[in-house]
């Protein structure tokens, strides 16, 4: 019981003071209700109007506008008017605004399956419609040049405002792809085309993956099952080769940046200089421990210089492109966690670091923009608490920061084009959803929404957040525990540990419901204690915290999770013989890792889409944390669950999407095969038409399945 003395109870929130007052959740509600009937009231498609201090949103299918000064929100385009506008250009059945954005004070760009439409909200007419004779992918529109870049199959095209199409590539070899995201979306890469500021040039990725082994995925939907081949480079195996081309809209020329050898390297975070003369790329070596921030001539493709380098014994992970100041043509902001935490740095074009703008044992999570004069920078950080996100401004010159959000919670914000106003949206364990219109000093102008408790008719179990020490004895870890409904401290309850545990993710935060899925509350309604903690190795706590897993995934994370098991046992109301564990993806790995490393602790577990042996995971993510199997054979051996299968004692259900293209099926099947060899009985289930997650209505079946497994075995 000594351990308890070091616990600091942060918050105790009782959503429902009289527990038995409301009704119970159904499994359907517990699975999808969070995004439907229990979704807090909000404002749909809220965004700033281009170059103005008014905001727009969709209400009942119509486009409304609100101003900073006046509280009257007025309708500016009805769904009827939208339909009429589209009918005039022969498009029938326009089903609402869909995805749209402001591209001028009067024009909105509406994304269509076959192109994009520019609609004038004043004339209520479709001014232009760039229409392609097919479904297009990766549409990327330049506001400046009104050019649309897009891909079809593996090739890249651009279309002008008159829908005149120019192919940028016409590659027949399907192993070579143009204009799409590369490196499996690691390093912050989410797209494959980058318009220059004027829209006259287009930088694009070319990825040759013809040398990458194909992983066979089988689609059972056709009359006879068909094969889909996935170019999936596994750790230590041949990866793809990426280059960056530059297409000139004016003359159709294409040049390639001379990014040189080795061919297998990472070309990340592409950005254009304001004058379009240069392209900057964070070039990361294959070992992922040495990044060069390189400048290339956009006209000739020549390498100009390396502005600066970052090295780390573990890894370097550039995630955000440089942001160039507009007032000066030779300065940019760079984000780096080189001092242990992600912060802003100001650089000039000579690669000279002018200053570190933010500093502290917390991380910048988002760059929002500059003020008009570019003397201040708006951003979101974890400075107040890793559980919160708050908005700040920092004076680039003085480094003085100002907190712009006062309410405790998890804030997101949008800056108006005028830089004078901010739309601040937040939730917390107390507030389901609040949106305020604030000025740029953080002063509230008006509350736009303050949602009532959507769970008010439901008997919600009590949730508590807590802090415990990690297995290192010093690091704070943040947790969340949900007590069984109608909690009786004299009883002993079964408990379920929900785990993820890997990088780039945080499960516990000060958002509505504490970041927990409603299913956790559903299980607590059924009488389970449900607990979760963000162990070392997870996100938003700095480099040391996250990178502790380097070359040795599974160890520190599991030791930390065992600290939460100690905490659970010390609560006094948990039946120590009835502890279960559940997680998906990295959490699936952790579930099996925990059950096979501490076989006497866990009575039952459900692992979804688990990595079983990191040699089956892909190069980009896998080698960052584990190096290659050749470089780190011990680490791969130690973390391989195949070697631990024989230890399993509890009841384990593995669930996998049959066409999982993230964690391929070879993972779970290899574990099954080892269990078969070792005479270990386990359970298995497949979702035949699902990939790495079970989405849509089928998710209800999934959660029923998981629930039943714990009901039957825990």
State the minimum distance, in angstroms, from the CB of residue 642 to its own copies. 12
Query: Using omega within 30 degrees of 0 as the cis cutoff, is the peptide bond preceding 139 cis?
Result: no
Closest to its own copies by CB, 53 or 214: 214
Closest to its own copies by CB, 48 or 671: 671
Closest to its own copies by CB, 439 or 683: 683
Closest to its own copies by CB, 235 or 558: 235
CA distances (Å), 692 to each of 218, 305, 687, in order? 14, 41, 10
Closest to its own copies by CB, 524 or 653: 653
State the minimum distance, in angstroms, from the CB of residue 224 to its own copies. 5
* Closest by CA position to 471, among listed 542, 536, 545: 536
Which of these is catalytic: 381, 585, 639, 640? 585
**Alpha carbon distance 344, 415 (integer Å):** 19
**Alpha carbon distance 489, 574 (integer Å):** 10
**Alpha carbon distance 383, 389 (integer Å):** 8
Neighbours of 524 (CB within 10 A): 25
Task: Give the burial class of 549: count Cβ atoms within 10 A of its Cβ; 0-12 exposed, 13-18 middle, 19 or more buried.
Answer: buried
Closest to its own copies by CB, 476 or 678: 678
Contact 500, 607 (CB under 8 A): no
**Alpha carbon distance 200, 250 (integer Å):** 7
CA distances (Å), 482 to each of 168, 278, 595, in order? 55, 53, 22
Closest to its own copies by CB, 497 or 642: 642
Which of these is catalytic: 290, 504, 692, 701? 692
> CB neighbours of 567 closer than 8 A, spacing ≥ 6?
3, 7, 466, 468, 479, 531
Which of these is catalytic: 660, 668, 670, 690? 660
State the minimum distance, in angstroms, from the CB of residue 592 to its own copies. 16
Catalytic site residue 275?
Answer: no
> What backbone phi and psi angles, to 5 degrees, belong to 353?
-80, 115
State the minimum distance, in angstroms, from the CB of residue 623 to its own copies. 15
Phi-psi region for residue 115, left (φ > 0), alpha (ψ -120 to 50) or beta?
A: left
**Alpha carbon distance 81, 62 (integer Å):** 9
Ordered alpha helix ranges (H), 446-542:
518-525
> CB neighbours of 670 closer than 8 A, spacing ≥ 6?
612, 613, 616, 642
State the minimum distance, in angstroms, from the CB of residue 520 to its own copies. 21
Closest to its own copies by CB, 98 or 216: 216
CB burial string 573-612: b at 16+ within 10 A, e below: bbeeebbbbbbbbbbbbbbbbbbbbbeebbbbbbbbbbbb
State the minimum distance, in angstroms, from the CB of residue 671 to its own copies. 9
Contact 244, 191 (CB under 8 A): no
State the minimum distance, in angstroms, from the CB of residue 61 to its own copies. 31
Report the interface residues with its own copies, using CB under 8 A. Answer: 213-216, 218, 220, 223-227, 232, 234, 237, 615, 658, 664-666, 669-670, 672-673, 675-677, 679, 681, 683-689, 698, 700-701, 704-705, 708, 712
Neighbours of 634 (CB within 10 A): 9
State the minimum distance, in angstroms, from the CB of residue 636 to its own copies. 12
Catalytic site residue 240?
Answer: no
Closest to its own copies by CB, 122 or 677: 677
- Which regions of 534-688 does DSSP assign to beta strands (E)? 574-584, 604-608, 651-657, 683-687
State the minimum distance, in angstroms, from the CB of residue 180 to its own copies. 22
**CA neighbours within 13 Å on the CB side: how many for 519?**
22
Catalytic site residue 343?
Answer: no
Closest to its own copies by CB, 255 or 619: 619
State the minimum distance, in angstroms, from the CB of residue 700 to its own copies. 7
**Alpha carbon distance 514, 409 (integer Å):** 10
**CA neighbours within 13 Å on the CB side: how many for 407?**
24
Catalytic residues: 585, 660, 692
């Amino acid at each position: 019981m000594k351990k308890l003395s070091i616990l600091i109870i942060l918050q105790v929130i009782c959503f429902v003071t009289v527990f038995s007052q409301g009704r119970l959740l159904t499994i359907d509600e517990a699975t999808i209700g969070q995004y439907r009937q229990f979704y807090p009231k909000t404002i749909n498609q809220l965004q700033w109007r281009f170059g103005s201090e008014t905001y727009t949103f969709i209400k009942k299918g119509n486009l409304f506008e609100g101003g900073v000064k006046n509280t009257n929100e007025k309708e500016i385009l009805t769904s009827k008017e939208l339909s009429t506008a589209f009918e005039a250009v022969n498009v029938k059945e326009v089903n609402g605004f869909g995805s749209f954005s402001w591209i001028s004070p009067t024009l909105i760009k509406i994304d269509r399956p076959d192109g994009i439409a520019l609609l004038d909200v004043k004339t209520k007419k479709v001014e232009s419609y760039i229409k392609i004779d097919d479904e297009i992918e990766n549409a990327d529109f330049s506001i400046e040049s009104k050019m649309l870049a897009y891909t079809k199959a593996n090739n890249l095209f651009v279309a002008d405002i008159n829908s005149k199409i120019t192919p940028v590539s016409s590659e027949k070899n399907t192993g070579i792809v143009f204009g799409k995201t590369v490196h499996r979306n690691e390093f912050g890469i989410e797209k494959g085309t980058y318009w220059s500021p004027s829209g006259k040039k287009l930088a694009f990725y070319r990825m040759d993956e013809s040398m990458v082994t194909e992983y066979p995925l089988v689609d059972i939907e056709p009359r006879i099952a068909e094969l889909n081949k996935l170019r999936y480079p596994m750790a230590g195996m041949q990866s793809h080769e990426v280059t960056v081309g530059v297409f000139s809209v004016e003359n159709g020329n294409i040049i390639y940046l001379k990014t040189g050898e080795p061919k297998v390297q990472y070309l990340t975070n592409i950005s254009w200089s304001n004058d379009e003369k240069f392209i900057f790329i964070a070039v990361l070596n294959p070992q992922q421990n040495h990044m060069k921030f390189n400048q290339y001539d956009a006209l000739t493709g020549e390498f100009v210089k390396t502005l600066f380098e970052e090295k780390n014994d573990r890894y370097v992970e550039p995630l955000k492109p440089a942001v160039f100041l507009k007032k000066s043509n030779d300065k940019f902001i760079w984000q780096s966690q080189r001092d242990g935490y992600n912060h802003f740095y100001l650089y000039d074009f000579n690669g000279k670091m002018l200053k570190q703008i933010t500093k502290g044992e917390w991380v910048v999570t988002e760059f929002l923009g500059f003020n008009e004069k570019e003397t201040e920078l708006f951003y979101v950080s974890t400075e107040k608490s890793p559980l919160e996100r708050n908005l700040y401004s920092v004076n680039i010159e003085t480094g003085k920061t100002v907190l712009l959000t006062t309410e405790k919670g998890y804030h997101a914000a949008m800056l108006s084009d005028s830089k004078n106003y901010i739309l601040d949206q937040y939730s917390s364990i107390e507030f389901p959803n609040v949106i305020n219109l604030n000025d740029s000093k953080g002063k509230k102008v008006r509350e736009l929404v303050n949602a009532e408790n959507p769970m008010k008719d439901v008997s919600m179990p009590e949730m508590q957040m807590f802090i415990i020490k990690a297995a290192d004895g010093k690091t704070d870890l943040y947790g969340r525990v949900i007590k069984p409904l109608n909690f009786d401290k004299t009883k002993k309850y079964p408990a379920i540990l929900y785990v993820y545990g890997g990088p780039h993710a945080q499960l516990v935060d000060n958002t509505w419901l504490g970041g927990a899925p409603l299913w956790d509350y559903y299980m607590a309604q059924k009488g389970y204690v449900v607990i979760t903690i963000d162990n070392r190795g997870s996100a938003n706590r700095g480099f040391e915290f996250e990178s502790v897993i380097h070359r040795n995934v599974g160890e520190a994370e599991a030791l930390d999770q065992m600290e939460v098991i100690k905490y659970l046992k010390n609560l006094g109301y948990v039946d120590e013989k009835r502890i279960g564990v559940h997680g998906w993806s990295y959490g699936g790995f952790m579930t099996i890792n925990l059950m096979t490393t501490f076989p006497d602790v866990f009575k039952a577990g459900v692992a979804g889409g688990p990595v079983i042996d990191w040699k089956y995971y892909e190069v980009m993510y896998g080698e960052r944390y584990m190096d290659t199997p050749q470089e780190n054979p011990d680490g791969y051996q130690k973390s391989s669950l195949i070697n631990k299968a024989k230890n399993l004692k509890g009841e384990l259900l593995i669930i996998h999407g049959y066409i999982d293209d993230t964690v391929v099926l070879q993972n779970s099947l290899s574990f099954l095969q080892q269990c078969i060899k070792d005479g270990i009985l386990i359970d298995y289930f497949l979702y035949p038409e699902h990939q790495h997650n079970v989405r849509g209505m089928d998710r209800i079946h999934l959660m029923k399945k998981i629930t039943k497994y714990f009901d039957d075995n825990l």
